[in-house]
């Protein structure tokens, strides 16, 4: 595919060069005519010579680069992926795993789970550890697609599990709380050979509300 892409561009350049030479020769032959006649001749020659160039350039630029998968979403397309995630409230990085399935060419259903790295605080011989795990059930709506990129909005449910553990305080133990909320946001994907690089931003609306930024890779299954 890459060779075809470059061959198409090379052909376009050669045709453009030949067209320029031909236009110059024809212009010299009609140089003694009136200006209106000369412009008419030039427009006719330009259309005749440049039409195949335009077609070749358009065909070449519509081809996926580097053998990338088609960024146009397909009904039945499924993907698994993972990446890094950052929460603005907890101010910690985490790991994220996900799965999505396209029900139509525009709507995908799926979800992700994020595990934020624990935050541990030491204070006068005591330690306090906080851990946050979130689970999202999400729908993606693809509103823009091109040969190598697509953009989407998202909305869904969020389930957050927060664990607090203390040691060396005289009140050693742990406590767990959970909260159900909503998430809303969007993202973009860039097509690679077997999947997509993605960048996603969403806001969690709950008792543990925060802005969440995720970046990673989704691998397309069965394509």
Q: pLDDT of 138-184, one tens digit each?
A: 999 999 999 899 999 999 999 999 888 777 656 666 778 899 999 99
Whether the CB-CB separation of 186 and 200 falls below 8 Å is answered with: yes
Residue 60's pLDDT band (boundaries 50, 70, 90)?
Answer: very low
pLDDT at 71 over 80: yes
- Dihedral angle, C-alpha 22, 26, 31, 36, nearest 10 °: -100
3 against 158, higher pLDDT: 158
Whether the CB-CB separation of 114 and 92 falls below 8 Å is answered with: no
Residue 223's pLDDT band (boundaries 50, 70, 90)?
Answer: low
Cα separation, 83 vs 18, whole angstroms? 50
Residue 47's pLDDT band (boundaries 50, 70, 90)?
Answer: low
Residues of the chain above pLDDT 90, percent:
47
pLDDT at 4 over 60: no
Cα separation, 114 vs 136, whole angstroms? 9
Q: What pLDDT shows up at residue 16?
A: 40
| Neighbouring residues of 181: CB distance < 8 A, sequence distance ≥ 6 | 157, 158, 159, 160, 204, 205, 206, 207, 208, 209
Tens of pLDDT, residue by residue over 92-103, are 999 999 999 999
| Neighbouring residues of 42: CB distance < 8 A, sequence distance ≥ 6 | 23, 26, 27
Q: Per-residue b/e over 43-62, b at no fewer than 16 CB within 10 Å? A: eebeeebbeebeebbeebee
| Neighbouring residues of 38: CB distance < 8 A, sequence distance ≥ 6 | 27, 30, 31
pTM above 0.75, yes or no: no
Q: 3-state DSSP call for residue 14? A: helix
Q: Which of 222, 141, 219, 149 is nearest to 191 (CA)?
A: 149
Scanning the chain, the segments in alpha helix (DSSP H) are: 2-29, 35-61
Tens of pLDDT, residue by residue over 108-145, are 999 999 999 988 776 666 777 888 999 999 999 999 99
């Amino acid at each position: 595919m890459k060779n075809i892409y470059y061959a198409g561009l090379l052909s376009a350049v050669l045709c453009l060069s030949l067209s320029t030479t031909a236009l110059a020769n024809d212009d010299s032959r009609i140089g003694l005519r009136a200006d209106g006649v000369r412009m008419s001749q030039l427009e006719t020659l330009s259309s005749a010579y440049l039409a195949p160039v335009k077609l070749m350039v358009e065909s070449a630029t519509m081809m996926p680069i580097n053998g990338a998968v088609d960024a146009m979403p397909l009904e039945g397309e499924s993907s698994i992926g993972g990446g890094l995630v950052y929460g603005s409230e907890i101010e910690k990085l985490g790991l994220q795993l996900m799965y999505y399935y396209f029900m139509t060419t525009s709507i995908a259903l799926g979800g992700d789970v994020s595990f934020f790295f624990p935050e541990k605080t030491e204070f006068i011989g005591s330690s306090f550890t906080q851990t946050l795990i979130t689970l999202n059930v999400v729908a993606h709506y693809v509103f823009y697609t091109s040969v190598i990129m697509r953009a989407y909005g998202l909305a869904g449910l969020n389930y957050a599990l927060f664990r607090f553990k203390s040691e060396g305080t005289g009140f050693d133990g742990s406590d767990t709380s959970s909260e159900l909320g909503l998430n809303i946001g969007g993202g973009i994907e860039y097509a690679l050979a077997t999947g997509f690089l993605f960048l996603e931003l969403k806001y969690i609306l709950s008792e543990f509300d925060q802005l969440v930024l995720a970046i990673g890779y989704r691998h397309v299954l069965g394509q």
